[in-house]
Chains A and B, each alone.
Chain A
Amino acid sequence: MKKSILTLTILGLISALLLSFAHQLLTPIIASRQEEGKKDIILAVLPESNNFKVLEKNGIILYEGNKDGEVAIIARGPGFGGEIELIVGANPFERKVYGIKVLSHSETPGLGSHITGEVFEQNFVDKPFGDYQVVKRPVADLMEVEAITGATVSSQLVVDIVKKAINEMLLAYGFDAIAITEVPVVTGATDTSTGATITTGATVTTGATSLGGGEY
């Protein structure tokens, strides 16, 4: 019996020592990987900047690129399968969007998951600010966004988040928000905090700082 306890204790101690050593050694590397990943994503939506600084205006976190006027903002909102988190690169002075990147989502694989694809993202490249409408055909003008086939809801929800993010950015820089129409989208999904069916106009949070998960 004594030997059993001794064996387990010794093993336990060796394990704890080994792991705490590994933890000390590797955590800085892990952290710097996450920082790099984050940097890459932000620069991906700021066309001419090669560096940025993190600012806080009116409680909203913004990433200002070193090229004048280029700003990125992270926003989250409800998607069809779960929360969608994306980053929008834009210029609040020239009032145009440079592009977006979806950071995380739980949309249906093969359908809604195409929101991360180049084809859908192309909708937002060099796009003037406005009240975008989702259409189910090739776009006729720059105020339209072409929906993903079989994923109109996911497409609409992404567009809503983008519009709200743009407004948050405008407000942060002291401009007026643009008027946006709220298209009621009944996804059948239920917002668990209120028990009500989600319609667009549900809370979109901006300035979220989570980029690259992990908590080590």
Chain B
Amino acid sequence: MEQFTHILLLFASTILVNNFILVRFLGICPFLGVSNQIGTAFSMGMATTFVMTLTGMASWLINTYILEVFNLQFLQTVIFIIVIAALVQFVEMFIKKTSPALYRTLGIFLPLITTNCAILGLALLIPSEGYNFIESVIFAFAAGVGFTLAIVLMAGLRENLEFADVPGVLKGVPITLIIAGIMAMAFMGFSGLISM
């Protein structure tokens, strides 16, 4: 029961208290780039969550069975990024073969995910926080959910923004950043909610 509560709290705190985008600053590029429509934002979020969960597992496995066993921590960054690039390639091929429909919605976003700092950030956070396997998977999945939440919220706001009269200099990225700032302020309200 204790373990379950702990997992549940890890899940909730990663989505809200330590939201990857609005608190940890990871994944800003796609956040600014792909958040102008709710549909695309959601698809990007789903694709990212999928890759993140796999990466979380891979990160733990590689760290535990390879890096620590052979004392190769100095190769951590290099190995992780290669694995992520390879993972994304395989996921793309896999989706293309098994579900062309899914590929049409998600497919284009997948190559972009390789350079999403949230993925590598996740991979690096797992060994540094010292999570066990289950915790790593939940953490990775929750990170993806939090990412999706933030990006979809932003997309919703930006869709409404289309009808507003935004001053010239603020159009595009500036106003999005200011909105993100206000969202970040709102998310600050979650701090202290869960103490890990």
Contacts and interface: CB of A to CB of B under 8 A. Distances in A.
Interface of A: 15-16, 19-20, 22-23, 78, 80-82, 108, 187-195, 198, 215-216
Contacts of B10: 192
Tell me what chain B mostly uses at the interface: helix, strand, loop, or mixed.
helix
B75 A187 contact: no
B101 interface: no
Given A16-B75, A215-B73, A216-B73, 19 more contacts: A19-B74, A19-B75, A20-B74, A78-B195, A81-B195, A82-B195, A108-B192, A188-B192, A188-B193, A189-B194, A192-B5, A192-B9, A192-B10, A192-B194, A192-B195, A192-B196, A194-B2, A195-B1, A216-B74
Given A82-B196, A188-B193, A189-B195, A195 B78 contact: no
A74 B196 CA distance: 20
B132 interface: no
Nearest to B10: A192
B66 to A, nearest CB: 13
B74 to A, nearest CB: 4
A195 B6 CA distance: 8
Q: List the 10 shortest-distance A-B pairs measured between CB atoms, nearest first.
A: A189-B195, A23-B74, A195-B5, A192-B6, A192-B9, A19-B74, A192-B196, A80-B192, A15-B78, A190-B195
Nearest to A19: B74
A92 B162 CA distance: 68
Interface in B160-196: 191-196
Interface string B59-91: 000000000000001110010000000000000
Interface residues of B, number: 16
B195 A193 contact: no
Interface in B5-41: 5-6, 9-10
Contacts of B73: 215-216
Contacts of A190: 9, 194-195
A89 B140 CA distance: 41
Nearest to B17: A81
A194 B74 CA distance: 36
Contacts of A78: 195
Nearest to A16: B75
Given A15-B78, A19-B74, A198 B2 contact: no
Nearest to B195: A189
Contacts of A15: 78
B6 A193 contact: yes
Nearest to B82: A12
A216 B75 CA distance: 12
Counting chain B CB atoms within 10 Å of each CB, the highest count among A78, A82, A198 belongs to A82
10 contacts: A78-B195, A80-B195, A82-B195, A108-B191, A108-B192, A187-B192, A192-B9, A192-B10, A192-B194, A195-B2
A80 B78 CA distance: 37
B86 to A, nearest CB: 11
A21 to B, nearest CB: 10
Contacts of B1: 195
